[in-house]
Structure 1
Amino acid sequence: MPAHHRSSRYGRYAGGPDPLAPPVDLSEALAAVSEDVMAGYSPEEAMREFLRRGGRGREGLDDLSRRVHQRRRDLLKQHRLGGTLDEAKQLLDKALRLEREQFLRDARMDPMDRSFREMQLDGLPRSTAAAVSELASYDWQSDSAREAYEQIKDLLGREILDQRFAGMKQALENATDADREAVAEMLRDLNELLEKHGRGEDTDEDFQDFMAKHGQHFPEDPQSVDELIDTLAQRSAAAQRMLNSMTPEQRQELMQLSAQAFGSPDLMAQLGQLDANLQALRPGEDWSGSERFQGGEGLGLGDGTGVLQDIAELDALADELSQHHEGANLDDLDLDALARQLGDDAAVSARTLAELERAMRESGYLQRDQDGDLRLSPRAVRRLGKSLLRDTAQRLSGRPGARDTRLAGAAGEPTGATREWQFGDAEPWDVTRTLTNAITRTVAEGGDAGRGLRIDVRDIEVAETEARTQAAVALLVDTSFSMAAEGRWVPMKRTSLALHHLVSTRFRGDRLQLIGFGRYARDLRIEELTSLPPRREQGTNLHHGLLLATRFFRKHPSAQPVLLVVTDGEPTAHLLPDGESWFSWPAEPATLRATVQELDRLGRLGAQTTFFRLGDDPGLERFLLRMAERVDGRVVAPDPADLGSAVLQEYLDARSKDADDADPWG
């Protein structure tokens, strides 16, 4: 067939992570982590929580842990021990049946001899092990019966070896005496190597010689004597746990039967020595544990040991997935073990979570502060603020899907900066940037810019403008514990982030000060406010917050002062002359008097004031209405979910009064 007619067949890539797969999307992870940080989690805890929950359409660590524990329960419910004893009993019953059938067929057999043999068989002990031992010197009349009896010894030998060397049961099926002697020689050489290693006298050449001679018995292909010991010790310990899991009667029966294995006491002696060597070299393995099997499917010694190894591997996976130990990260997950136990899909889910964790740490969205604690970086805060501003704008406009709130100033002078055109923009085009973008795109798409240009909407950039009037905005947010207790903590932070992003990116001439007030008030950077945890402290010190707002406005005397206050409770604290906070509930007249006096000072500065009342407290409603009347301000009572749009609307309304009545929303 000509080469160009050859067909190709394609399948799922199986060489590890798909090299053509797109990089992990951090947007969902960042949003989830940021939301939990604003609720009071540390960034480290928030990231762990996201990894536990997983994302949309993606398993998390909790899902994988549930599957691991379910797999463990299923193994215990499906199986029971004693399969080798059952099989040995079946072979013994078969041998006795064939022998008795031979008595009936052999007419020349001496009646006295037949009677004696029948009595001998009828008088065998009920114990399979004791019966097998008693028949060791029996002179079988039926060749088929003798063969079935010899199969018991062969079965026991293969099962006992399979406990220590996975796959040995199948490898030695129909084995010859030479095959068995080769195994016995391997055991002698192995014990000699392990004993030398225990004394520190072995060399790498000793290991290489052993593997060259007996490597076919070790499909795991260990590369050093320590790897060989690890592999053997894990399986030997699992074999011991299987014996521990048996009933005392099963253990006794098995030990008696084991003496018949291959009819070779030397084999059992070598295996006993192997177990002793391994336990001495790896005492940290679990040699004393046990499990309670409850199922109906009998397990042979080799298969049962394999199941105990699976259970140990599942326990290790459960510990890795819990991520509880210090310094834990998802790169520690054994993906091969996860694929073995739960399938390739589980390994893919775990790998994706590990990539997300690694990408979050390396992306710059999380960074260590001076104390070594993990925090949201300024980059993460900007990205979060942009997202929150977009959501708030949609609520404010009432037109989902409308253009982003990419606001520069309104009806003012160009700032010198440009940005991508968005639907609804009325700003003038930046012709130079637009043409440059068109040329760059045309060349990148394989076109010839010298033969003409076709401008695409993606090429257009518009000039940003500065608002004509500068504003100084003080956003006071209540940080008392009631805000967190009543579910208003996160909406307050989301509002602050959205306003901060709007001012810092679209009204750059304005100045914004975030002020939190609880028992005391303090100026807050946006990064501090974002990660501020709720504190169980009493006091709503609006007086102190207003003092800080007054100080801020006086630093910007040429700017229009805008005061925005978010609170869910009446003032219960005020600042004393010595700087201490005085708390009293119900509020004392002195607290109310100090708060009102400071508000009056702000009124004389010309501050445009809006109070945002959260909750339905009638006392708070009356108090804020009276406060607003004193300074010709307003009271707004939004739902917490609409707090952001309410605050942004008040800010924009306050600006528009001194910006030629321009509408910054377009």
Structure 2
Amino acid sequence: MADLSGGRRRRADDYSYGAYVDGPDPLAPPVDLRAALDKIGKDVMEGSSPQQALRELLRQGMKNRRGLDDLARKIWQKRRDLQRDNRLDGTLQEVRELLAKALGQEREALARQQGDDARFREMELDTLPGDTGGAVRELGKYDWQSSDARETFQEIQNLLGKEMLDQRFAGMKQALENATPEDTERIREMLDDLNALLAAHAAGAETAAQFGDFMSEHGEFFPEQPQNVEQLIDLLAARSAAAQRMMNSMTPQQRAELAQLSQQAFGDPRLAQSLSQLDSQLQGLRPGQDWSGSGRFDGDNPMGMGEGTRALEQLGQLDSLAEQLSQSYPGARLDDIDLDALGDALGDQARADVQELADLERELRDRGVFDRADDGSLRLSPKALRRLGESALKDVADQISGRRGERETRRSGASGEPTGSTRPWAFGDTQAWSVPRTLLNAQLRRAGGDENVLDVSDVEVIETEQRTRAVVALCVDTSWSMVQDGRWVPMKRTALALHQLISTRFRGDALQLITFGRRADKVELGELIGLEGAYVQGTNLQHALMLAGDHLRSQPDAMPVVLVVTDGEPTAHLEPDGDFAFSYPPDPRTVRATLVELDKLAGRRAAISFFVLGDDPRLASFMDSLARRCGGRVIAPDLDGLGAEVVADYLRTRR
């Protein structure tokens, strides 16, 4: 084997390891779709719409993935640094320095001369205008006596020409470093041809052939290689508008000085005239460009006209990126973000972050996480609700197992006769394993390249006949206090966990979700998860128990189970005429109406459990009296343990 270490063997301590710096980390973990769905689900349960929850996820990002807000902050920081570190008078400063140098050289030469002519010239220099633009304009007609001073003054003229061209044409200043008079004449010819082309295009003439001839003759000045007149105009208008914004950002005195200096570009006012004509045509062809904007630059680093224009152009690009990242305009999409511009501004990792967010959004939509409601809005799909239920049930299972050291969830009919079919093992299953199916699954997985001998995903258990069925009503308090005291999301996660358990482990059981505030309603899981908290007073337990009784009567041969989650005494009830009455403290009529419905459930031998949230002694005493009346139970869980208590109580009741 070839020795690649330069003739010596490398030791282990010759190597060092660090963060991957050449763009996005190729070994970075993929975005966790389940974690993304959990975050969206939490926001939806707190009252956000699915669309808002998705937008919030994209704004905040995920673990190890920056969100749009963080990238926007980086953009604004870069914008602030650009303005804080630089100023726009670099060309004026350089012209002043060259002017002082030229005048010093000329005065030295005149001091060595005798005669009135030399004294007259000295007086002429002494009476030059005080502003730089006016002095340079006057010296354009001056007969220099010093060859060094003449060359220095020509530097001023060449500098002005290069800077003015560099404002409109990328890289022109560098290309003109060693320019000859013939080169500057070719530039003037290019500007004349360009103005003629734009004038013809503005007049509506067919300019395809003229554009082709122009690019054949002058294409070297356009490294971007536009393919048609429109692309050429877009390119030039963006630069021209940035040049105008740079001028707008200067003081009136600085603008006046530059206006005078522009007439001395290359010692010929024709360049300034051609560029002025070009700017005017471009503004007419692209009025939508920002021609009136400006920026404040307060730094110490002086920028020339070309640099200043590029800085204003960069500011415009940063502003555009900030708007794209904000996604705050109608119809905004992640596809709107210019990834190339973002990469140029913040690096390849920023580009990768947005691309991954776009992939995540696309995958969430493609995987059927969202459905369209009748009004066109997004809502969580049944598939998404199942995933959220799995997550909620897993948390509950972990709590139950950790608290009791055993698994309490059981399959419907676990003690019955085998049906001959099998199914994948799931948390809580107590049935016997199907050894042939389990071993077959393991063998098939290993044939695919997995080296694990046996995995939990291989296990299948034997289905048994159903022995008992339950009809279950979960009544959850949706009064404002549940929202106000942080009980809204735990309540919804409890419903998710119980719904998931029954729909996957006890499919024969019939679960009905019932919400009760000022009134009670039977709701589907998706309605409950998307339910927004509203400031409505009332805790109508009577109506909830009435609807629970209706549900129990629909399954007369099943075991009746009623689970009530609440944080307040009954303060509302249904009147005989159908209206809802509210009173706090509770009216005796409300209490009597509630007891009537409770007695009906007790008469059906329903197993009733009350899960009381909060530490109100009066509420605890009242619920104890209800439980004694119906032979039920009162459980006072903390918020984190609410789901585990409800699920465990349901399982205990079934057994």
Deviations 1:547-582 (A, max 9, x none): 111111111111111111011111111112232222
Q: Please state if 1:323 is matched with 2:322.
A: no
Secondary structure of the residue aligned to 1:651 is helix
User: Does the 8 Å contact 2:61/2:68 carry over to 1?
Assistant: yes
Report if the CA contact (8 A) 2:623-2:634 is conserved.
Answer: yes
Match of 1:92 in 2: 99
Moved more, 134-143 or 47-56: 134-143
Instruction: Please say if residues 388 and 497 of structure 1, whose CA atoms lie closer than 8 Å, have aligned partners that are also in contact.
Output: yes
**In 1, distance between residues paired with 2:595 and 2:103?**
105
Secondary structure of 1:278's aligned partner: helix
* Residues 1:430 and 2:429 aligned together: no
Q: 1:624 to 1:17 in 2, by over 3 A?
A: same
Give the corresponding residue for 2:370: 366
Paired position in structure 2 for 1:280: 284
Q: Distance in 1 between matches of 2:407 and 2:588?
A: 49
C-alpha change, 1:416 and 1:550, in structure 2 (3 Å) is farther
1:224-263 to structure 2, matched below 5 A, reads 224-263=228-267
Q: Partners in 2 of 1:154 and 1:404 — Cα distance?
A: 88
**Partner residue of 1:655?**
654
Question: Which residue of 206, 209, 224 corresponds with 1:220?
Answer: 224
CA deviation string 1:431-484 (max 9, x = no partner)? 44234324423443499xxxxx97776543222445522111111001112111
**Aligned-pair distance for 1:414?**
3.9
* Contact kept in structure 2, 1:394 and 1:401, CA below 8 Å: no
TM-score normalised by length of structure 2: 0.92
Structure 2 SS opposite 1:286: coil
Change (3 A) 1:37 1:95: same
- Aligned with residue 195 of structure 2, among 191, 197, 221: 191
Measure the CA separation in 2 of the matches of 1:87 and 1:209. 38
What residue in structure 1 maps to residue 508 of structure 2? 509
Cα distance in 2 between the residues matched to 1:631 and 1:252: 92
Q: Distance in 2 between matches of 1:577 and 1:528?
A: 28
Structure 2 residue aligned with 1:49: 56
Could you say if the C-alpha distance between residues 424 and 36 of structure 1 is closer, same or farther in structure 2, counting changes exceeding 3 Å?
closer
Say whether 1:395 aligns with 2:378: no
Correspondence for 1:313: 317
Give the unaligned 5+ runs of structure 1: 3-10, 448-452, 657-666
Q: Whole-Å Cα distance in 1 between the matches of residues 555 and 456 of structure 2? A: 41
Q: Bigger shift: 406-415 or 496-505?
A: 406-415
Report whether the alignment pairs 1:26 with 2:30.
Answer: no
Determine if contact 2:414/2:431 at 8 Å carries over to the other structure: no
Report the 3-state secondary structure (helix = DSSP H, G, I; strand = E; otherwise coil) of the residue aligned with 2:66: coil
Residues 445 and 134 (structure 1 numbering): CA distance in 2 closer, same or farther, change over 3 Å? closer
- In structure 2, the CA distance between the partners of 1:596 and 1:167, relative to structure 1 (3 Å rule), is same
The correspondence of residues 204-603 of structure 1 with structure 2, limited to 5 A, is 204-398=208-402, 409-414=413-418, 418-421=422-425, 427-445=431-449, 459-465=458-464, 468-603=467-602
* Residue 218 to residue 505, structure 1, CA distance change in 2 (3 Å): same
Partner of 2:12: none
Amino acid aligned to 2:653: A
1:120 matched to 2:120: no
Between the aligned partners of 1:366 and 1:605, the Cα distance in structure 2 is 40
The CA deviation string for residues 200-243 of structure 1, in whole angstroms up to 9 with x for no partner, is 11332222222222122112222221121111111111111111
How far off its partner does 1:650 sit? Answer: 0.8
Deviation at 1:69, TM superposition (A): 1.2
CA separation in 2, counterparts of 1:195 and 1:525? Answer: 67
Q: 1:418 & 1:13 partners in 2: Cα distance?
A: 51
Other structure's SS at 1:587 match:
coil
Instruction: Look up the SS of the partner of 2:62 in the other structure.
Output: coil
User: Could you tell me how far apart the structure 2 residues matched to 1:357 and 1:456 are?
Assistant: 32
Question: Do the aligned partners of 1:99 and 1:140 also contact (CA within 8 Å) in 2?
Answer: yes
Query: In structure 2, what is the Cα distance between the partners aligned to 1:514 and 1:195?
Result: 72
State whether residues 320 and 333 of structure 1, in contact with CA within 8 Å, keep that contact through their aligned partners in structure 2: yes
Q: Single out whichever of 643-652 and 197-206 deviates more from structure 2.
A: 197-206
Partner of 2:15: none
Over 3 Å counting, the alpha-carbon distance change for 1:627 and 1:458 in structure 2 is closer
Q: Please, which of 32, 35, 44 is the counterpart of residue 37 of structure 1?
A: 44
C-alpha separation between the residues in 2 aligned to 1:141 and 1:328? 66
Q: 1:442 to 1:242 in 2, by over 3 A?
A: closer
* Deviation readout 1:129-162 (Å, 9 max, x if unpaired): 2221222232323222211110100000111111
Where in structure 2 are the equivalents of 1:84-163 lying within 5 Å? 84-103=91-110, 109-163=113-167
- Residue equivalent to 2:607: 608
Q: In 2, distance between residues paired with 1:571 and 1:127?
A: 85
Determine the structure 1 residue equivalent to 2:65: 58
Residue in structure 2 matched with residue 8 of structure 1 by the alignment: none
Quick one: distance in 2 between partners of 1:389 and 1:68?
41
Specify the code of the residue in structure 1 equivalent to 2:268.
Answer: S
In structure 1, C-alpha distance between the alignment counterparts of 2:130 and 2:308, rounded to whole Å: 25
The residue identity in structure 2 corresponding to 1:257 is L
SS in 2 for 1:463: strand
1:420 Cα deviation from its structure 2 partner? 4.2
The 3 A distance-change label for structure 1 pair 259 and 34 is: same
**1:612-631 C-alpha deviation (Å, 9 max, x unpaired):** 11112233222211111101
- For residues 564 and 457 of structure 1, what CA distance do their matches in structure 2 show? 33
Q: Are the counterparts in 1 of residues 401 and 407 from structure 2 also a CA contact under 8 Å?
A: no
Q: CA deviation at 1:35?
A: 0.2
Letter in 1 for 2:434: D
The percent of aligned pairs where both chains have the same amino acid is: 57
RMSD: 2.8
In structure 1, how many angstroms separate the alpha carbons of the residues matched to 2:63 and 2:408? 24
- State the TM-score, normalized to the length of structure 1: 0.91
State whether residues 609 and 635 of structure 2, in contact with CA within 8 Å, keep that contact through their aligned partners in structure 1.
yes
With over 3 angstroms needed to count, the CA separation of the structure-2 counterparts of 1:169 and 1:564, relative to structure 1, is same
Output the amino acid matched with 1:270: S
Equivalent residue number for residue 77 of structure 2: 70
* Corresponding residue SS for 2:299: coil
How far apart, in 1, do the equivalents of 2:539 and 2:564 lie? 12
Give 1:664's aligned residue. none
Question: Compared with structure 1, are the counterparts of its residues 528 and 431 closer, same or farther at alpha carbon in structure 2 (3 Å cutoff)?
Answer: same
Mapped to 2, the partners of 1:76 and 1:62 lie a distance apart of 21
* 3-state DSSP of counterpart to 1:556: coil
> Does 197-206 or 500-509 show the bigger shift?
197-206
Q: 3-state SS of the aligned residue for 1:398?
A: helix
TM-aligned CA distance change 1:423 to 1:492, over 3 Å: closer
Q: Secondary structure at the match of 1:137?
A: coil
Q: How many correspondences in the alignment?
A: 641
Counterpart-to-counterpart distance in 2, 1:401 and 1:12: 44
How many Å apart are 1:413 and its aligned residue?
3.7
**Cα distance in 1 for residues equivalent to 2:456 and 2:492:** 36
Taking the aligned partners of 2:215 and 2:421, their CA distance within structure 1 comes to 71
* Mapped contact 1:83–1:301 kept (Cα < 8 A): yes
For 2:168, the equivalent position in structure 1 comes to 164
CA–CA separation in structure 2 for the residues paired with 1:162 and 1:194: 20
Q: Kindly provide the CA deviation profile for residues 363-412 of structure 1, in whole angstroms up to 9, marking residues without a partner as x.
A: 10111122211011111111111111111111122269998968565333
Q: Does 1:638 align with 2:642?
A: no
In structure 2, distance between residues paired with 1:54 and 1:446: 32
* Residue of structure 2 equivalent to 1:629: 628
1:488 is aligned with what amino acid?
Answer: R
Partner Cα distance (1:242, 1:598) in 2: 78
